[in-house]
Amino acid sequence: MMGKGSQNVGIYALGMIAVVLIAVGAYLYVQWDEQNRYGGELTLSSKLLSTYEGNFKIANGQRIAIVMDVRGLGQDNKVSVYQCGVGFASSLARLGKNVTNFAIEDSGCYGPLNRTSITACNEVMHKEDYIILLKGGEADTKYYEDHLLVIVPPNNTIECGVKAR
């Protein structure tokens, strides 16, 4: 036979379990909602171009998108990618190009649409003539059909930008 005190403990325990389940459910919903509203991926060409062809695309494009993808990077690498983006933006502006900047972070994409999904930013950036994609990692540069991929190392000391010839 259960006493009144043990019934109260049982009701209290069930109440606490319900509160924990509601909190976990709310957390999972917020995470799912954040991913749906701000997630997605970039869709970029995998067709490589020669340096000559890539330079030609940048030289002839009037509207250039600079995309700084810093997802999953340490602070030093993030700073290097952002500094590289500033170098590209200023050098392209000096050449008379219209530049649109995008920052892709773990929390979404920031650009002309303010904070939005990576999918929405992807659509906007593809309206430009060419894309310069800056990511962190081991230094590398490759030209593709629709973008220039620049991998920027942490603590980068190489000047980023486009030089007029």
Taking only the tens place, the pLDDT of each residue in 80-120 is: 999 999 999 999 999 999 999 999 998 899 999 888 999 99
What residues are paired with 48 via a beta bridge?
144
Domain 51-152 fold is Rossmann fold (3.40.50)
Residue 16 has pLDDT above 70, yes or no: yes
End-to-end Cα spacing for the chain: 93
- Copy the structure tokens of residue 32: 């799912």
CB atoms within 10 A of CB 66: 26
The confidence score (pLDDT) of residue 131 equals: 97
The confidence score (pLDDT) of residue 49 equals: 97
16, 18, 21, 24, 92 from 10: Cα distances, Å = 10, 12, 17, 21, 69
The confidence score (pLDDT) of residue 10 equals: 72
146 burial (CB, 10 Å; 0-12 / 13-18 / 19+) is buried
For β-strands 140-143 and 108-111, DSSP reports them as: unpaired
